[in-house]
Structure formats: structure tokens, C-alpha cells
Amino acid sequence: MRGRLRIVGGAWRGRRLRVPSGPDIRPTSDFLREALFDILADRVEGADVLDLYAGTGALALEALSRGAATATLVEVNPACLRAARENAAALGCETRCRFLQMGGRAAVVRLGRQGRRFHLILADPPYGSDLAEATLRAVARYEVLLPGGFLVLEVSSRAALPERLSPLVETARRRHGGSALCFYTAEAPEGQTA
């Protein structure tokens, strides 16, 4: 294991997370996770969370620490997914987690076809790939985000993403160094309220 992250808030604040070594491992920093969850605030409590490109599970576990009900962690890299499982076990929350070893976009398609819906989707695809926009399009098409829910994409601060992709609308973009957090909400279908 290369480094360590920590849970920055909630019930498990200060608890350490394992991070495997590897050139393609880029976990969300403690600082950026704290900024993200400060913005989300009380929207996390009781939420069903989908963590795409989950890596070591830091985002999903942070959400669970702050009161999320469940988390589905999706990661294609077996070493990272193993670390995510170990981190969940160390925190005693593995029964609130579901782990899927597959790509993020493929998981959205599968979960959408199964009728699964989430209050909060967190996605941290590899920088420099087209996966951020592909994920955004899949979430819009397969409607895995509940109306009024939030999709947060962590991307390079230079990334250009659509501001609207029905039913998703970008509500905020926060830049932090070389990263940006893009917040989308799912609008309720006409005639319905979120």
C-alpha cells in the first residue's frame, strides 16, 4: 500500500484509508473531499450513493461517515476494489456497501436497466479521458439519478462539459487547483415535483 487518506468528517472523522500503489491511482485529496461534502451538506443524510470510478472508496466511505444510507462502489481495477472492500470492512460498514468490478459507464447502463436510482452519484473518472462526458450522457440516458438528486463529477479544471443534458442541469462548478467539481441536478419530469 502506497499512501493513506483519511475520512475528513462525520462519524469516522480521522480514520485512515488504505491506498494501493500504482501509476494510475489518483485518489481525491482530503482537501477536495472536504470541499465537496461541505457543499453537499445535509443532502448526504439518508442518501443512496453511487460512487463511479471509486478507486479506494474514499468518496463513498466519506458519504457513509456523514450519514448516507447505502453506497454502491464501482471500480474496474481489482487492486483498488480490494482496497475499497478492506477500507469498508475496517470501518465496519461493508453491509451498507455493494461492490461492482466494472467500468463506470457500463455500471450506469446495468443499474439503469435494473431500475436502480440514487440520490447522489459521485464520479471521479481518469483525467484526460472522455469518460466524464460519457458518464454524464449515460446518467442522463439511463435516469439512475432521482429527480432532485445530485451528480458530482470530478474532472480536470480544463475539462469542458455540457451545462445541460436533459434531465441533468449543471448547477455549480467549483475549481480547486487543477481539479474541478461539476454539480448537476436531475430535474423532475414536467408535471412532477422533486
Domain boundaries, the chain: 3-186
Say what percent of the chain tops pLDDT 90: 73
| pLDDT, tens digit (0-9, with 9 covering 90-100), for 137-188 | 999 999 999 999 999 999 988 888 989 989 999 999 999 888 899 999 998 7
Q: How far is CA 84 from the centre of its chain?
A: 13
pLDDT of 190 above 60? yes
How far apart CA 91 and CA 76 sit, in angstroms, is 22
Average pLDDT, the chain: 91
Residues 81 and 101 sit within 8 Å (Cβ to Cβ): yes
List of residues 6+ apart from 173 with CB closer than 8 A? 180, 181, 182, 183
pLDDT score at 64: 98
For the CA atoms of the chain, what is the radius of gyration?
A: 15
- Inter-CA distances, 83 with 1, 9, 119, 141, 153, Å: 9, 20, 25, 31, 22
pTM of the model: 0.92
Q: Strand 145-156 relative to strand 118-123: parallel, antiparallel, unpaired? A: parallel
Q: Which three cell numbers stand for residue 179?
A: 481539479
Q: 3-186: which CATH topology?
A: Rossmann fold (3.40.50)
3-state helix, strand, coil in the chain (%, to 5): 30, 30, 40
CA distance 125 to 32: 15
